[in-house]
């Protein structure tokens, strides 16, 4: 049975919900009557004002938690706070990711390779998700179907890499895919009702893609709302046997 058909009184957790795709998921799930509770994490209040304001409107449904995903202790604390409220999660979506910030940009050439920046990419884009898989296991160990999705990127595909560049972002998303594929195998034994997948959202209009949108045709640049709608369709259609796979926004599997 497709995951979406099993959704009722479900508890969801969106990681990286301060802005962009993560915030879009929170807004959509808050108005979905099949969802009972929404837990949403943010790193810093400065970029999470819109999320935090939603609390006024959805006081009973939404809980906001502060988590820097590169700090394992903060992940563990947030999971304990969730466990104080619910004993199971049905849908977890990790939307955390970094491509650029005030201090660094994706590398166009080998000349720009810098080990500190590479480590940052891996810490945020790859390692965070496997730490989540470690700490979330107790909340997934129940007998109802559940999904743990991480937002990856088509750029992670080794087979599809024809244009090069963006070394750290690409490789960190490839590592994310491998971490999740491996976790899917272990969860298959310890929490067999949980499907673990990675998803390519398509180029979506957020602060992450904004500096790189000029060559993207308008029909290929998704709004956050459209991206979230498409990804939720993919998630809802997931079924037994899909765990460990890498899906695009249109539901097709992507090459590793
Ligand atoms: N937009 C696209 O075109 C596109 C394409 C392919 C893949 N993706 C992937 O989609 C996901 C969502 O991206 P987006 O476009 O929505 O970007 P975004 O608007 O920049 O959102 C990224 C989120 O990650 C959070 N984050 C970054 N570092 C963190 C840390 N150390 N701890 C906790 N949270 C942290 C950010 O929090 P702050 O607000 O605190 O910075 C923000 O909530 C990412 O994994 C991205 O790689 C996006």
The tens digit of pLDDT for each residue in 138-165 reads 999 999 999 999 999 999 999 999 999 9
Residue 21 Cα to ligand 1 midpoint, Å, equals: 7
Ligand 1 site residues (CB inside 6 A) read: 16, 18-22, 43-44, 47, 67-70, 95-98, 124, 151, 153, 201, 203-204, 206-209
Among 5, 8, 11, 2, CA closest to 140: 11
In a domain, 73, yes or no: yes
Identify the three-state secondary structure at position 129: helix
In a domain, 201, yes or no: yes
Closest residue to atom 43 of ligand 1, CA basis: 16
Q: Alpha-carbon distance 199 to 44, whole Å?
A: 25
Closest residue to atom 20 of ligand 1, CA basis: 208
In a domain, 69, yes or no: yes
The tens digit of pLDDT for each residue in 79-95 reads 999 999 999 999 999 99
Place of tokens 């977890």: 92
The tens digit of pLDDT for each residue in 21-72 reads 999 999 999 999 999 999 999 999 999 999 999 999 999 999 999 999 999 9
In a domain, 222, yes or no: yes
In a domain, 170, yes or no: yes
Give the domain extent around 50.
3-248
Note the pTM of the prediction, 2 decimals: 0.98
pLDDT for the residue 141: 95
Tokens of 233: 């369709």
Please count the structural domains in the chain. 1
C-alpha of 130 from chain center: 12
- Asked if residues 142 and 87 have their Cβ atoms less than 8 Å apart, the reply is yes
In a domain, 255, yes or no: no
Q: How many CB atoms lie within 10 A of CB 24?
A: 25
- Helix 128-140 to helix 167-190 angle, to the nearest 10 degrees? 20
In a domain, 23, yes or no: yes
CATH code of residue 204: 3.40.50.720
What is the dihedral sign for C-alpha 127, 81, 146, 225?
Answer: negative
In a domain, 253, yes or no: no
Tokens of 212: 């790189």
């Amino acid at each position: 049975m497709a995951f979406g058909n099993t959704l009722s009184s479900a508890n969801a957790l969106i990681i990286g919900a301060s802005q962009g795709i993560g915030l879009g998921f929170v807004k959509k799930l808050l108005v979905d009557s099949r969802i009972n509770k929404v837990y949403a994490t943010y790193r810093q209040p400065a970029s999470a004002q819109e999320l935090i304001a939603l609390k006024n409107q959805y006081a009973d449904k939404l809980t906001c938690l502060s988590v820097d995903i590169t700090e394992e202790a903060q992940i563990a604390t947030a999971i304990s706070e969730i466990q104080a409220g619910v004993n199971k999660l049905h849908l977890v979506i990790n939307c955390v990711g970094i491509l650029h910030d005030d201090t660094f940009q994706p590398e166009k050439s080998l000349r720009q390779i810098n080990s500190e920046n590479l480590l940052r990419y891996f810490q945020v884009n790859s390692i965070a998700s496997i730490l989540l898989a470690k700490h979330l296991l107790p909340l997934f160990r129940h007998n109802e179907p559940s999904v743990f999705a991480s937002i990856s990127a088509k750029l992670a595909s080794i087979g599809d890499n024809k244009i090069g560049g963006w070394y750290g972002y690409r490789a960190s998303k490839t590592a994310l895919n491998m971490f999740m594929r491996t976790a899917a195998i272990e969860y298959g034994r310890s929490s067999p009702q949980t499907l673990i997948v990675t998803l390519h959202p398509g180029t979506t209009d957020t602060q992450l893609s904004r500096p790189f949108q000029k060559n993207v045709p308008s029909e290929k640049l998704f709004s956050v709302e459209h991206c979230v709608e498409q990804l939720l369709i993919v998630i809802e259609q997931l079924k037994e046997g899909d765990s460990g796979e890498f899906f695009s926004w249109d539901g097709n599997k992507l090459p590793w």
